[in-house]
Amino acid sequence: MKKSAIDKKRSKRFVVVCGSVVLFGMAAIALYFFVYTPSLKIENGIADELTDPAGDDYGYGELSYPENKQRDGSLDLLRYMVHEPVQNSGKSKQKNYWQIDMEFENGTAETERNIRIYIDADGDGKGATQTKMDFAEGVEFDSEIPWDFVVSAQNGAGTLLSYNTGLTVPLTVTGYQSGKEITIIIPLEEKELQKIYSAKTTWHYVCVGAYQADGRDGFGSAKDSEFIPKLYDILVPPGQEQETVLSAWDEDSFIIPVLKPVMVNMEAANRKNIGRDQQAVDIAAERERLLELRGRLEAAPADVNIIEKILNIEVMQLNMIVEALEFARANEAFIGNSMMAQIYIAVAESKMAGLEKNVIEKGVWVNKGMANFDRIHKLWPLNETVYTYQVITYSNFPSVLGAYRQVLDLLSYMREQYASNAWELTAGQADRLWTVLLNLEDKYPRGAKNKEIRAFAMDLKNSFPIMASRPGADEAAL
């Protein structure tokens, strides 16, 4: 199928993957990640842990599961755990090794996944930017961060391969929880692998495909075009979206997507985050706080302040979107006049689209969230908080929605309020505006839309000294 046909199909889709909505100093940090209970056996501490949204096992947006398999989440990566390398172990037959764990939405036979982890172990700029077998996955890698080693786990076995020395090391791949979780053990006996012990940081390209015995390097092919990436799920660094990255293929121009890696700490002491955001929510503490608030609500069921706090935790911190919407419906008699409760519901509806697998249902939830924000504006007109939540939420919509125009229109109105001193532009609010603009630039990295976004950012920077003084101005590199 030609790219034009794919574009035509894409124009009918409404997909929201709200990676993260960061509200500096306002209500919370919204993390779109899977809340899990660890179950894998480990010897060394976890050096770093990355999480990925549930329900995004569709690759570039429309990749179908193999004909003989229903979409059931078995290719949907949720959690990627990297342990500190073990040296001279006294508890295992393998004395020197490195452990990586992966958790998926659902289990499957080991023969049905085809996993690749491309690793830059030293950051020296030397390595490969092509896949292990040319054009197998249908992607390439960042030329500034080439890979040194590739870990392959397919057909129930695993190997590590060096990009240039011919080093090949067999790996142990073990499944748990009926295949929902796998552990990969990488022996570190070879001299070439010893640098793993001294590495403070490594960079990983984590790719999940479907195994097909007669496929190129075991990857099942997409029927529409050989240029479509054969990857159902990948990890992307903060500020990027899987669908946007993997959609950057063009059969007519012979263009294939270029992936950027995720950064992985190698020492537990350096671990700064759980998941994809640089700031992590203490999940256990928030769940305890949620239980405490629910207990308080039983004693005072009409306490709107408690209801708002519960919605804040469920929507903005623990990503309990379904539960939050059910809770809101159960308490709608009390929260009709609560602006914050209504905002949390609108954000939840927008994020609900990311949990739906049916394309039509995604569109329904997008429309609900947007309509709800419009309703909130009528109830609380000219309110800076409403505009802020709305603009940050919309700035996290994927580029396929083309919501940048709505975001810039909202920002233009907000600019007018700051210019007329109707609203005070504080340092914290300036940071939020930079968050929105940087979100947009990440989603529209080139072309006329990018120029328009950057021109708007430059205007804000030049018009308001506080905008020019904030860290976002340096990050935007205007």
Q: State whether residue 466 is helix, strand or coil.
A: helix
List the helix and strand counts (H, then E) for the chain. 15, 16
How is residue 84 written in tokens?
């500190």
- At 468, give phi and psi (nearest 5°): -70, -25
Give the closest residue to 349 by CA, choosing from 335, 340, 362.
362
- Please report the pLDDT score of residue 68 as a whole number: 64
Q: To which H or E segment does residue 184 belong? A: strand 181-187
Cβ-based burial of 337 (10 A; exposed 0-12, middle 13-18, buried ≥19): exposed
- At 280, give phi and psi (nearest 5°): -110, 145
- Please report the pLDDT score of residue 423 as a whole number: 93
Q: To which H or E segment does residue 341 belong? A: helix 339-355
Give the closest residue to 310 by CA, choosing from 295, 380, 366.
295
Query: How does DSSP assign 419-451, residue by residue?
Result: HTTSS---HHHHHHHHHHHHHHHHHS-SHHHHH
Question: pLDDT tens digits, residue range 203-245?
Answer: 999 999 999 888 889 998 766 677 889 999 999 998 888 999 9
Distance CA 279, CA 49 (A): 13
Distance CA 18, CA 352 (A): 9
- Please report the pLDDT score of residue 325 as a whole number: 95
Domain residue spans of the chain: 34-270, 283-476
Q: State whether residue 276 is helix, strand or coil.
A: coil
- Tokens 């903005």 belong to which residue? 316
How is residue 63 written in tokens?
């990749």
Per-position pLDDT tens, the chain of length 478 = 333 333 333 333 233 333 333 332 233 223 222 222 233 334 457 888 898 988 889 898 888 888 767 567 889 999 999 999 988 876 566 788 999 999 898 887 666 899 999 999 988 889 999 999 988 999 999 998 999 999 999 867 899 999 988 899 999 888 876 778 888 999 999 999 988 988 889 999 999 999 988 888 999 876 667 788 999 999 999 888 899 999 988 878 888 999 999 999 888 655 443 333 333 334 656 777 888 999 999 999 999 999 999 999 999 887 888 899 999 999 999 999 999 999 999 999 998 887 776 778 888 898 999 999 999 999 999 999 999 999 999 998 877 777 889 999 999 999 999 999 999 998 888 989 999 999 898 888 888 999 999 999 999 999 999 999 888 888 877 6
CB 425 within 8 A of CB 380: no
Single-letter amino acid, residue 425:
L
Question: pLDDT tens digits, residue range 258-280?
Answer: 999 999 988 865 544 333 333 33
Helix axes 447-463, 404-419, angle to 10 degrees: 10
Distance CA 230, CA 221 (A): 6
Single-letter amino acid, residue 232:
Y
- Please report the pLDDT score of residue 1 as a whole number: 36
- Tokens 């197998």 belong to which residue? 136
Give the closest residue to 202 by CA, choosing from 317, 27, 80.
80
Q: To which H or E segment does residue 201 belong? A: strand 201-216
CB 401 within 8 A of CB 15: yes
Question: Distance of CA 21 to CAs 32, 196, 305, Å?
Answer: 8, 34, 22
The sign one gets for the Cα dihedral 186, 191, 196, 197 is: positive
- Please report the pLDDT score of residue 175 as a whole number: 80
CATH class held by domain 34-270: mainly beta
CATH number assigned to the domain covering 283-476: 1.25.40
Give the closest residue to 321 by CA, choosing from 289, 355, 288.
355
Distance of CA 72 to the CA centre of its chain: 20
CB 241 within 8 A of CB 398: yes
Cβ-based burial of 4 (10 A; exposed 0-12, middle 13-18, buried ≥19): exposed
The sign one gets for the Cα dihedral 204, 209, 211, 214 is: negative
- Please report the pLDDT score of residue 27 as a whole number: 30
pTM score? 0.52
- Please report the pLDDT score of residue 411 as a whole number: 96
- Tokens 């229109």 belong to which residue? 409
Q: What is the dihedral of CA 467, 472, 475, 478, to 10 degrees?
A: -20
Beta bridge partners, 207, equal: 116, 234
> Which DSSP letter does residue 155 get?
T
- Please report the pLDDT score of residue 250 as a whole number: 81
Q: State whether residue 386 is helix, strand or coil.
A: helix
- Please report the pLDDT score of residue 283 as a whole number: 60
- Please report the pLDDT score of residue 409 as a whole number: 95
